[in-house]
Structure 1
Amino acid sequence: MDISGLFSVKGRVALVTGGSAGIGRMIATGLGAAGARVYICARNAEKVASAAASIPGDVIGLAGDVSTLEGIGKLVGEITAREAALHILVNNAGTLSDAPLDSFSEDQWDDVLELNLKTPFFLLQKLLPLLRAGGTAERPSAVINIGSVGALKIGPREVYSYQASKGAIHWLTKSLAKRLASENVTVNAIAPGFFESEMTVITDDAMRRMVESAVPRGRTGTPEDVAGAAIYLASRAGAYVTGSVIAVEGGLSI
């Protein structure tokens, strides 16, 4: 057995949505450092260009709004014009709304479900020709959906549409994995726990102690933790894994 390239993604082409910040940027940075060509997209053109320039490796920033079918179509058109195949799709772009049950609004429901659930499905659908072109029996193309520990354990915040969307993403992952397995495309999900980002901010020492005390590993996640999981799923090492939800949360959901 030759394991020298078991975890390699060198030369693979990846797209990471929401790749200019947070977990998306962590994954994009890891894939870029490991030798993949990485496209990152986000709505803000200046922000995505700055992120692409600051991430080491072959990283290309594309401005686009994937919350609409029109925006998805434009992004897919740009990727198709540049690449004959796509090997890695990371559906990371997402949002959340936090509001009391009695006042939780329809907009707070719809905005979250649109981006967190509808977008990953239709982006995958439109990118299927490129993903099929990139996969082989030995090295399938890899779709990685970003779920959440919030779909494995109910936390203290009132984020109803977020938790519903992430629970649905976990099951959508399994459904798509079963459908696409024979076409050399794997579909898995990563369910991150508490990673410090623009979306999850630790505001003071008391909050840090509270968060860390809830995690059996005793700390928040690092970029290496989530990037490592993504690289595993996208490499030859993860070729026989599909339909799985990998919790990267230090034991928080136990």
Structure 2
Amino acid sequence: MMADGFVQNGAKVYIASRDVEACQATADELNAKGPGKCFALRANLLSEAACKKLAEDVAKHETKVDVLINNSGVGWGGDVEHHPEKAWTNVLSVNVTSPFHVTRYLLPLLDAAAATSDAARVINIGSVSGLMPQQIDSIAYDTSKAAVHHMTRVLAAKLARRPNGGHILVNAIAPGLVPTKLSTGIALVTGKSFEELQQNIPTQRYGHASDMAGLAIFLAS
């Protein structure tokens, strides 16, 4: 979604995933559209070491990063009695800890961009689930997104003025219902299609790829 929008607006984009083959297939699809370029990297962000390696892999190709979008995410469906520690820890590690470490290890490249432009940007992907309780049981996910929102506030304050005189602007996007691979679980749990679910939304429409891309490009501009 967001990578598509950036590539179509001429940006050079790196996307990362545990499944590098699927990631490369997406990159090929986006490159066919152009005019920008998309490159695929392998990354499993369950550990600090993996986050550091991703930053190092980016640094092999680039001397600066203008925009970082932290969009990795996993979920776990289950009520309070069915949230095992491993599931809870996995969700918090991927959704909260990895964005922090990726941002931290990419600071040198973000600083390089901040020193040569008005500001570098970090965009964290939160969720409306982090703003209010939801009907479905996804406590770990909801908690993680609330943490992402506050981490964004803290990073925005701490990174706004950098030692080199540059600035890094940190913002978050908190989408509602947007059809993605992750959100298909909502339809499975509720037994309702996206078309049925959108009837509970005041505007009677769910989010579209263009909504996500447009907002991300706005925050990156």
TM-score (normalizing by structure 1): 0.79
**Match for 1:225 among 185, 207, 211?**
211
Q: What's the offset of the Cα at 1:138?
A: 5.8
Q: Which amino acid aligns with 2:148?
A: I
CA–CA distance in 2 between the matches of 1:165 and 1:149? 12
CA–CA distance in 1 between the matches of 2:95 and 2:216? 18
1:37 lines up with 2:12 in the alignment: yes
Output one character per residue of 1:122-145: Cα deviation in whole Å (capped at 9) or x when no partner: 110000000010014862111000
**Match for 2:176 among 159, 181, 193?**
193
CA–CA distance in 1 between the matches of 2:115 and 2:201? 39
Q: What's the offset of the Cα at 1:119?
A: 0.2
1:53 lines up with 2:32 in the alignment: no
Aligned to 1:13: none
Aligned to 1:12: none
Structure 1's unaligned 5+ residue stretches are 1-25, 236-254
In structure 2, relative to structure 1, the CA distance for the partners of 1:194 and 1:69 (3 Å cut) is same
**Match for 1:207 among 179, 183, 193?**
193
In structure 2, relative to structure 1, the CA distance for the partners of 1:60 and 1:155 (3 Å cut) is same
Q: What's the offset of the Cα at 1:208?
A: 3.4
The range that moved more, 128-137 or 204-213, is 204-213
Q: What secondary structure is seen at the aligned counterpart in 2 of 1:172?
A: helix
Aligned to 1:69: 48
Conserved? CA contact 2:67–2:122, under 8 Å: yes
Q: Which amino acid aligns with 1:33?
A: Q
CA–CA distance in 2 between the matches of 1:73 and 1:102? 35
Q: Which amino acid aligns with 1:215?
A: I
CA–CA distance in 2 between the matches of 1:196 and 1:209? 10
Q: What secondary structure is seen at the aligned counterpart in 1 of 2:170?
A: strand
In structure 2, relative to structure 1, the CA distance for the partners of 1:78 and 1:106 (3 Å cut) is same
Aligned to 2:101: 122
CA–CA distance in 2 between the matches of 1:137 and 1:158? 45
CA–CA distance in 1 between the matches of 2:191 and 2:89? 34
CA–CA distance in 2 between the matches of 1:170 and 1:217? 24
Considering fraction of residues, name the structure with more helix.
Answer: 2
Runs (4+) of structure 1 exceeding 2 A deviation are 136-139, 201-210
Counterparts in 2 of 1:152-167, with a 5 A limit?
A: 152-167=131-146
CA–CA distance in 2 between the matches of 1:29 and 1:209? 24
CA–CA distance in 2 between the matches of 1:228 and 1:139? 20
Q: Cα RMSD over matched residues?
A: 1.7
Counterparts in 2 of 1:140-155, with a 5 A limit?
A: 140-155=119-134
CA–CA distance in 2 between the matches of 1:169 and 1:73? 19
Q: What secondary structure is seen at the aligned counterpart in 2 of 1:182?
A: coil
CA–CA distance in 2 between the matches of 1:85 and 1:216? 42
CA–CA distance in 2 between the matches of 1:108 and 1:79? 29
In structure 2, relative to structure 1, the CA distance for the partners of 1:62 and 1:174 (3 Å cut) is same
